[in-house]
Amino acid sequence: MTQSTQREKLKRHFARRATTQARSVLAQYKQCTHQHWKNCDSNQELMVQADKLTHYAERFSLPNLKELGHQISSHLKLSIDPHLPNQATQIALEECSQSLSLMIKRRSDDQESNDILDRTFAKPPIYLALNDHQFSQGLSDQLRFFGFRSIAFRHPNEFSDALMHSQIETVVADVDFGGERCGLDVIKAIQNTKTRKFPVIFISAKDDSLDLRLATSRAGGEEFCFQPSDPGPLVDKIEKYSQSDGSEPYRVLIIDDSKSQAKYIENILNRAQMLALAESDPTQALERIKTFQPEIILLDMYMPVCSGMELARVIRQQALHHQPPIIYLSAEEDLTKQIHAMSNGGDDFLTKPVAPQHLVSTIQNRARRARAMRAVRTHDNLTGLHNHTHTMQRLSLEIETVKNTNLPLTFALLDIDNFRDINHRYTHVGGDQVLKSLALFLKQRLRKSDHIGRYNGARFAMILPDTNETEAKIMLNEIRERFAQLEQHYRGEGFFALFSAGVTNFDGESLKTFCERTEKALSTAKRSGRNTVQTSK
């Protein structure tokens, strides 16, 4: 990843902060118009919010947002004191607000659905090389439901040629495709020509021996499935390995009073495809942590304003900043002092000068473990969605946000209909597959800004910012109807699963009341015959 690409990623990260501020401006503008510009305090607050937008946009190099923020503030400053905005000023402010709204406009659900199709064809296809053509077709149909494109091969030569000359996402191959161990041999030969190995899920219809499993592993196989009868579990595995965009780069904040040293480290990490930000003023550390949200903090031990240990203690005093590992980076060689430093909020100590490869390796290992630990704390093991506790924390934060912005917020609860009967007929294995299927289905169809969590049992929670109750109901009905068409499988037997949903719009109440109203709407949907979406009204 080039340095310019890293800068662009960093710019996009900060652009989200400016966009949030722009929404605050629009929410305040809406309040002013509702009051017909007769409330001087509201008008004054709009000017304050516009000035903040200008400041953020300038800091994050977003000239268009900066210009609109400046225009809104300028129009108000000309008329807010001693007079209220006249008609000409109100017209100018309306034009600015429309331009601002268009600039940060979210994609509609219809557009998002089209984007699923666009993303599907933007990614390389999943290669299927299976002897059982009926099973291959069923797997291909399932993949299409979840937004994946696939190509099924019938002949080993075509398969080999495609592997050699095409970009590869994930491969599902029969070890005996085209002949005994022919599929295995083809993949092994192609993998040996690749500098970057592609993920392979091997399938065998007749051999489950250790010898074959070792052979598939040596050929680059990530998974081995013996006599698969249902495409559902395979879809789960394919989704695990088919991430064309890759994981988000690790975010690393470097705090060092030496600008040259901080920039040097920043360049090393950027070249290693991380997202690094250097800060040479320790007094700006908390602000940088708040806006950048680093996963790793690199901290110099000795700085003129405060020591690294002092700053680490201050950082750890913030409840939201307990998690990011802090790595001291200093020329200090005294082991006793190093241990003392780590006892004051630190997690590791690197002695300058440190070899670039050692620095990168240490940060990657620390960041990988930090992400894994965070995932354990916040995610449900079965579905991979956020767990109940994390979902409620997220809903609480969203509530605080909308209290300041007056933007709509919708909360929805989904519950699989007759789930007890599904577990009884298809065992908990079949029930778990339905849960995982719905989780993946939702992830593929919602915006990145939306939050999906497992609420409890067969119930899922959805937090939909900047979405009103009517929009959410329409979107959920589309998902409900589409999911009802997805055939589930258990030991070769096909069946269909349905869900009901309750939807409510935030109305200024407490978190507890908001959830209770949503649960009441879900109960109404269940009493109405199931397979429906109901609001709180």
The pLDDT of residue 2 is 55
Confidence band, pLDDT 50/70/90 cuts, at residue 414: very high
Same domain, 403 and 348: no
**Backbone dihedral angles phi then psi of residue 351, each to the nearest 5 degrees:** -95, 125
The pLDDT of residue 213 is 93
State the SS3 of 278-300.
Answer: EECCHHHHHHHHHHHCCCEEEEE
Question: If you average pLDDT over every residue of the chain, what do you get?
Answer: 83
The pLDDT of residue 103 is 72
Whether 109 is in a domain gets the answer: no
Count of domains for the chain: 4
Same domain, 373 and 429: no
The answer to whether 23 and 407 are in contact (CB under 8 A) is yes
Same domain, 189 and 263: no
Q: Is the pLDDT score of 14 beyond 70?
A: no
Q: Is the pLDDT score of 83 beyond 80?
A: no
Distance from C-alpha of 22 to C-alpha of 98, rounded to nearest angstrom: 12
Question: Looking at residue 508, which CATH number applies to its domain?
Answer: 3.30.70.270
Same domain, 128 and 214: yes
> Which of 193, 223, 241 is the C-terminal boundary of a domain?
241
Q: Which of 110-119, 135-144, 192-201, 231-240 has the lowest mean pLDDT?
A: 110-119
The answer to whether 255 and 298 are in contact (CB under 8 A) is yes
Same domain, 507 and 392: yes
Q: Order of strands across the sheet with 296-300?
A: 275-279, 251-255, 296-300, 326-330, 348-351
> Which tokens in the block code for residue 318?
């913030």
- What is the number of other CB atoms lying within 10 angstroms of the CB of residue 46? 29
459-465 and 487-490 strand pairing: unpaired
Q: Which of 6-10, 200-204, 436-440 has the lowest mean pLDDT?
A: 6-10
The pLDDT of residue 517 is 94
Same domain, 311 and 211: no
Beta partners for residue 174, in sequence order: 203
State the SS3 of 198-263.
Answer: CCEEEEECCCCCHHHHHHHHHCCEEEEEECCCCHHHHHHHHHHHCCCCCCCCCEEEEECCCHHHHH
**Backbone dihedral angles phi then psi of residue 519, each to the nearest 5 degrees:** -65, -35
Name residue, tokens 């592997």: 163
Same domain, 499 and 411: yes
Q: What DSSP string runs through 373-409?
A: HHHHHHB-TTT-SB-HHHHHHHHHHHHHHHHHH---E
For the full predicted model, state whether its pTM sits above 0.95.
no
> What confidence tens digit (pLDDT) does each residue in 452-485 have?
999 998 999 999 998 888 888 888 998 999 899 8
Whether 7 is in a domain gets the answer: no
Q: Which of 44-58, 95-109, 324-338, 381-395 has the lowest mean pLDDT?
A: 95-109
The C-alpha angle with vertex 186 and arms to 185 and 187, in degrees rounded to 5, equals: 95
Whether 8 is in a domain gets the answer: no
Whether 443 is in a domain gets the answer: yes
Question: What's the mean pLDDT in 127-135?
Answer: 91
The C-alpha angle with vertex 361 and arms to 360 and 363, in degrees rounded to 5, equals: 65
Question: What's the mean pLDDT in 303-315?
Answer: 84
**Backbone dihedral angles phi then psi of residue 437, each to the nearest 5 degrees:** -65, -45
Higher pLDDT, 90 or 133: 133
Same domain, 428 and 527: yes
Question: Looking at residue 258, which CATH number applies to its domain?
Answer: 3.40.50.2300
> What confidence tens digit (pLDDT) does each residue in 354-377 have?
888 888 888 888 888 888 777 777
Full residue range of the structural domain in which residue 18 is found? 14-104
> What confidence tens digit (pLDDT) does each residue in 440-461 have?
888 877 877 789 999 998 999 9
Same domain, 287 and 414: no
Whether 115 is in a domain gets the answer: no
The answer to whether 461 and 128 are in contact (CB under 8 A) is no
Same domain, 228 and 307: no
Same domain, 526 and 394: yes
Question: What's the mean pLDDT in 285-312?
Answer: 85
> 3-state DSSP call for residue 306?
coil
Name residue, tokens 């913030």: 318
Whether 134 is in a domain gets the answer: yes
